[in-house]
Amino acid sequence: MTNIHITTGKTKEEITGFLKKMELDDIAGKPVSEYSGGMKRRVAIARALLAEYDILIMDEPLQGLDAETKEKVATVIKMQTAGKTVLFVTHDEKEAEFFEAECMELV
């Protein structure tokens, strides 16, 4: 895991375990230039979820992920943010329903 740098109060084992949940453990040693767009997005989500925060703002974090990956990542996000304040921007009503979000529509 020399290629992905995540600064947090978590142990290396906790970070490695989380990368596994995000299905990123097998790419941790590869150069970022070899990551697909979806891999880069999952790394960004992992970094955000592992950080200490009072409020987490996620602007369409699932955009561009294939359906299977989107479902897995959404489940991880939901589990990791349970009981926390999250501002989640999406244009997908199904995502909002999945997260049981209180919605505000901007026009």
pLDDT at 4: 55
Q: How confident is the model at residue 14 (pLDDT cuts 50, 70, 90)?
A: confident
For the entire predicted model, the pTM comes to 0.84
pLDDT at 1: 46
| One-character DSSP codes across 5-28 | ---SSS-HHHHHHHHHHTT-TTTT
CATH assignment, 12-98: 3.40.50.300
pLDDT tens digits for 48-97?
Answer: 999 888 999 999 999 999 999 999 999 999 999 999 999 999 999 999 99
Q: How confident is the model at residue 7 (pLDDT cuts 50, 70, 90)?
A: low
The domain ranges of the chain are: 12-98
Q: How many CB atoms lie within 10 A of CB 16?
A: 14
- Whole-angstrom CA distances from 21 to 76, 91, 97 are 7, 25, 22
